[in-house]
A = this chain, B = another copy of it.
């Protein structure tokens, strides 16, 4: 993940991965069938980290919908790397069906969590569920995806505070306040 996030997907060589891990290519190839398997493992790990961060928030007794969603934003060094990997693979999913499948699979998992947490929010605050719950959920995801790109590419212009504010404003516009 570190190599991909630093060098980009195409410039990622096995030697670089090995060197960063403090071993040689022999050690790396011993554990993976081929390079593709390594790259796919990196993508999988990126998503795992994101989901783990969400789970971590859920463990708190009082968390808001915002807290859950904002874990996807590239605001920490760790999540920045993870989301950079995420972004790097979109280009590849154009041509490689296996990558596309994995991206979609994880996407739906994410989408489900968002919808679920959205329902929790409404119920907690005694707000009747909107008819277009699914649409609201999809809209939130689109907004978050857009913000992730901004945060990654336009880093200096989009520090954590701005990303958070932007997301908060959006959620308020669709009637979701930031309270736990």
A143-B142, A146-B142 known; A153+B90 contact, CB < 8 A: yes
Copies, count: 2
Majority SS of interface residues in chain A? helix
Once bound together, how far apart are the Cα atoms of A117 and B5, in whole Å?
36
Query: Per-position contact with B for A128-150: 1 when CB-CB < 8 Å, else 0?
Result: 00001001001101111111011
Interface segment, A26-34, A47-55, A60-68, A91-99?
A91-99
| In the assembled complex, A104 has its CB within 8 A of some CB on chain B | yes
| In the assembled complex, A75 has its CB within 8 A of some CB on chain B | no
Query: Per-position contact with B for A144-175: 1 when CB-CB < 8 Å, else 0?
Result: 11110110111000000000011001100110
Q: A9 → chain B, closest Cβ, in Å? A: 6
- Interface residue total, chain A, C-beta cutoff 8 A: 44
Please indicate the chain B residues that have their CB under 8 angstroms from the CB of A90 in the complex. Answer: 87-88, 90-91, 149, 153
Please indicate the chain B residues that have their CB under 8 angstroms from the CB of A91 in the complex. Answer: 8-10, 87-92
Q: For the complex of A and B, list the 4 residue pairs with the smallest distance between their C-beta atoms, beginning with the closest.
A: A142-B146, A8-B95, A145-B146, A91-B91
Contact surface of A with B, Cβ cutoff 8 Å:
5-11, 84, 87-96, 100, 103-104, 107, 132, 135, 138-139, 141-147, 149-150, 152-154, 165-166, 169-170, 173-174
Give 7 A-B contacts (CB < 8 Å), ordered by A residue.
A6-B94, A7-B95, A10-B91, A88-B90, A91-B91, A142-B142, A144-B146
